[in-house]
Structure 1
């Protein structure tokens, strides 16, 4: 055994390749300082190692070099005359979701084979990390409402108006909407660990009525919005003619885009920490903003757009007289404006005036 260890690597490979199988089975290649040390270790009886197998995969002989060099699986696959059809024997995720009880389910979006797979995320925005580590738990603590066990649940009021059955045509008719409004607002739900408000998306819109006569205004607005959001904005047209705004029907009126996920958090981070502090004599976002469904908005003047770092670094590229303002719409998962304002105030957005729910 000692003489085998002292030989070169190529010689050991050749001897092991031509070693008889009956003699190769008890051989165990272990590197020891000497033959005596190896024999001493083998003869020792250790109770803790009694359950271990004595054979090792290292004792199996290696295949000959000629077999390794001639092994080319790609060549064998190319020489096959009959091939299996790929569409029948390969897995393809289903096109449609047929419910949770269907035997064939779509893989989760995190799997690379899923149809809705999106690689990433490749970064973690600072504002989102702050929300997950601090703000989410603080909102849950601030809005906690203790209810003793056994407290009866309050009944929900009727939101849709019924009919008085004064006419036979009222029978089996659908209920009417609330009086004075055709839009049915969301019902505010208590904040629990299942529905903590968070940022869902941010929509930005630029109104440039001058683009109806000069298309260069549209190019400048689109370039600015593309630099700020990193997306390709959509060109909008006026649905109605408004003489006070200089808008004509079916004419180019501006650009718009919507960003989701990490891009939305990064945009809000830039607004809160880079843009808002530079605006002089700015009170903040008006407290009456909101659509009663957890979505808030504010506006930025044309001179405020230069405070974004993406535009400030290439300010000479945008004509100052052609730079438009911007309207920012923040979409949240909150069920009321009160919860949405509580979320944005925790993120750092200042509000002034009366805070309406």
Structure 2
């Protein structure tokens, strides 16, 4: 009986020795290092307080503020008339704008549902270095500063969609200043938990310590509501060079960088059309002031 039970009962696992490698691992062609047979991808390992604040507080309020009841299904949108006939072979490759001007700010918003509530999609940090026009090595300082500030690297953690800190090159030629293809700055895109972690460092350590920061200036009331900048759903403001030294990632080792650099921060939301005014509520942790009350 005991012999039969010994065959059925599995033996306890032994943790004293590591499993032996039966075959050789393949080496990566780019790095020459052995590559494991399974993909290694890092995920979120800690809850994010600002992300929980959006889903627990802001999302319900934004749904209530932007909800528009429609008792009937929407009619099919009419075809916008163009300036030239698209069937005319003489105007086939010509720029054909719509009659009546741009239609960017005139398009109706999509139907209000629980799946398209206004939310923050990504944060883009951009820094332009004028000294890089004479020497490309001047980009090493802001490149390493943004890497330490955001923790983003190319394909970091096995995420193939992560591009890390990118070098910005000129697109147009301006006499005596810039040429196409010349590196002039750096930028990085933040999504997910890293985006909310950056916002937390910004509003808790940087903005309260700026002496001359009164708030993010809103556009004046006389500005057009149909312009591309008014309906894009993007909130943008800049920080002076001394603000970079207030980030805790830079402050602990500030002497490792040649100098501090200014930056532009773009908060990109999915709000468009007449809902673009709600994008400032999503960034509710910042202070917004009117142009008429600016000091």
TM-score normalised to structure 1 length: 0.57
1:262 and 2:199 correspond: no
- Counterpart of 2:116 in structure 1 is 195
Contact 2:48 2:197 in 1 (8 A): yes
**How large is the RMSD of aligned CA atoms in angstroms?**
3.8
Output the CA distance in 1 between the equivalents of 2:49 and 2:192. Answer: 13
- Counterpart of 1:141 in structure 2 is 64
Give the gaps of 5 or more residues in structure 1.
1-15, 19-60, 69-77, 79-113
1:247 Cα deviation after fit: 2.7
Output the CA distance in 1 between the equivalents of 2:207 and 2:166. Answer: 26
**Correspondence for 1:121 among 39, 44, 54:** 44
- Counterpart of 1:273 in structure 2 is 204
Does the residue aligned with 1:204 lie in a helix, a strand or coil?
strand
**Correspondence for 2:174 among 226, 229, 242:** 242
The count of aligned residue pairs is 242
Change in 2 beyond 3 A, CA 1:279/1:330:
same
TM-score normalised to structure 2 length: 0.68
- Counterpart of 1:17 in structure 2 is 2
1:189 Cα deviation after fit: 3.5
Change in 2 beyond 3 A, CA 1:192/1:152:
closer
Output the CA distance in 2 between the equivalents of 1:334 and 1:123. Answer: 28
Contact 2:68 2:112 in 1 (8 A): no
Give the gaps of 5 or more residues in structure 2.
12-21, 23-37, 154-164, 221-228
Contact 1:125 1:265 in 2 (8 A): yes
- Counterpart of 1:287 in structure 2 is 218
Which structure 2 residues correspond to residues 183-222 of structure 1 after superposition, within 5 A? 187-189=108-110, 191-222=112-143
1:163 Cα deviation after fit: 6.5
Contact 1:199 1:264 in 2 (8 A): no
Change in 2 beyond 3 A, CA 1:265/1:156:
farther
Output the CA distance in 2 between the equivalents of 1:176 and 1:234. Answer: 34
The higher-RCO structure (CA 8 Å, 6+ apart) is 2
Does the residue aligned with 1:281 lie in a helix, a strand or coil?
coil
Does the residue aligned with 1:250 lie in a helix, a strand or coil?
coil
1:253 and 2:184 correspond: yes
